[in-house]
Structure 1
Amino acid sequence: MTGQKKDRRVKRTKKMIRDALSELMKNKTFEEISVTDITTKADINRSTFYLHYEDKYDLLEQSEEEIIQEISNIAKRSIHSMDILNQDVIDHPLTFVVDIFQYIRENEVFMKAILGPKGPGSFRLKFKSVLSINLKRLKKAIKADPIVPEDYLISYITGAHISVMQQWLENGMKETPHDMALILSKITGMGPAYAAGLRKK
């Protein structure tokens, strides 16, 4: 077997295992799930599982890190492009936010499980950290001067973004990634009071 074919097979097997964990987390918490549950759901034997992971915690850690790295790369690519400085973010959402929503859609099974009520809190903390880092990069790129303490501002924005993403997943992702990014742009750019119709422009 060539190296390329082997890599594809490994990726396919790891995706099957991750998807099996995700399906199980619809009805059980992570702590309630065993390796046997995962291998049965993925229709593989335990030796195949242990070729790739030490235990279920290693599976969760690797899966979270893969997702976080991909999301981080998406954000970096966009923020390093200075086109962001010329965007009207109220009517035209930031490209990297659209791309993140698209990535969430492409990885729906895992994202729904990991951000859902049965998911561990570890991923939400990592996700919040990635968003915080990139908000700081964005602030530096546009030389913004916030009128409230930065830590509180970033905590508010990242928490709101993650909650909106969770709601989108729970709603069955009826809106497009572009529509969702635009919703966030309007809420973030003009404030919740304006978005709720309580304040005019």
Structure 2
Amino acid sequence: MMDEQAVDRRVSRTKRMIRDALTELMEEKGFDGITVKDLTARADINRGTFYLHYKDKYDLLEQSEAELIAEISALAASSFLRVATNYNKQVSEWTLLPFVEKLFELLQENADFMRVVLGPKGDPSFQKKLKEVIRERSLPILKTIGGELLVPAEYLTAYVSSAHLGVIQNWLESGMKTPPKEMALFLAQMTLLGPGYVAGVSRENMTAMRQYLESERPKP
């Protein structure tokens, strides 16, 4: 009799085959043009096997996306706990960079699916879900390692989540030429130091711009 581990491996392998079929077909003709018949033919399974795991193609897409969002959300949550614990230590001891590196490794492991769902033939609702995870997790981390917010939180988190998504999409579309560890460093520099700093704006100009912007802020 087949043990539970063997059954689990077989189920995981079957579901992966179905998701791979979905990925390929979405890239070829978009989600709306796909049928269950297309999926079973591409995955080389019968319809009964498909319906054993999914109600329809919408359930397949929803489950596939939910699994990835859950993994990303768990990574982000564990990152916040470690950053909150170590925030008063040296930057080298923070665990923020390893988290972002793990995030890019996760994206790399699921690159084909992520590239498709985040691309022009993908699912706009998935982009929204991913941005929401980043938005929810970024503010507590920024508050922990930062201080008083200079702009409303809703604008800060909208900026950070949109910027992260844009970087992720560009990395996937360009073939992931930059290793995850390097991407983690780039993203941390842009997020924590700001575009002006990483663009090479001089310290003098940064100081002058900060003073100007402070002078333009509405007085309480």
Q: Percent identity over the alignment?
A: 50
1:84–1:60: structure 2 CA closer, same or farther, 3 Å change rule? farther
* Partner AA of 1:57 in structure 2: Y
* Corresponding residue for residue 195 of structure 1: 198
Q: Would you say 1:79 and 2:80 are equivalent positions?
A: yes
> What is the aligned length?
198
Deviation, 1:143, is: 6.3
1:171–1:86: structure 2 CA closer, same or farther, 3 Å change rule? farther
Deviation, 1:14, is: 0.5
* Corresponding residue for residue 42 of structure 1: 43
Q: Conserved in 2, the CA contact under 8 Å of 1:115 and 1:123?
A: yes
* Corresponding residue for residue 156 of structure 1: 159
Q: Conserved in 2, the CA contact under 8 Å of 1:93 and 1:182?
A: no
* Corresponding residue for residue 125 of structure 2: 122
Deviation, 1:93, is: 6.0
* Corresponding residue for residue 10 of structure 1: 11
SS across alignment from 1:86:
coil
Which of 1 and 2 has higher RCO (CA within 8 Å, sep 6+)?
1
Q: Conserved in 2, the CA contact under 8 Å of 1:39 and 1:45?
A: yes
If the length of structure 2 is used for normalisation, what is the TM-score? Answer: 0.84
1:5-50 CA deviation, whole Å, 9 max, x = no partner?
A: 1111111111111111111121221111111111111111111100
Distance 2:90 2:116 in 1: 33
> Which is worse superposed, 93-102 or 152-161?
93-102
* Corresponding residue for residue 98 of structure 2: 95
Query: Structure 1 unaligned runs (5+)?
Result: none
Matches for 1:161-180 after TM superposition, within 5 Å: 161-180=164-183
Q: Would you say 1:69 and 2:75 are equivalent positions?
A: no
Query: Structure 2 unaligned runs (5+)?
Result: 204-220
Distance 1:193 1:139 in 2: 18
SS across alignment from 1:118:
coil
Matches for 1:102-141 after TM superposition, within 5 Å: 102-141=105-144
1:32-73 CA deviation, whole Å, 9 max, x = no partner?
A: 111111111111111110000000000011011100000111
When Rg is computed on C-alpha atoms for both structures, the one with the higher figure is 2
SS across alignment from 2:27:
coil
Q: Conserved in 1, the CA contact under 8 Å of 2:79 and 2:96?
A: no
1:185–1:3: structure 2 CA closer, same or farther, 3 Å change rule? same
1:71–1:171: structure 2 CA closer, same or farther, 3 Å change rule? same
1:62–1:115: structure 2 CA closer, same or farther, 3 Å change rule? same
Deviation, 1:110, is: 1.0
* Corresponding residue for residue 60 of structure 1: 61
Distance 1:185 1:33 in 2: 39
If the length of structure 1 is used for normalisation, what is the TM-score? Answer: 0.91
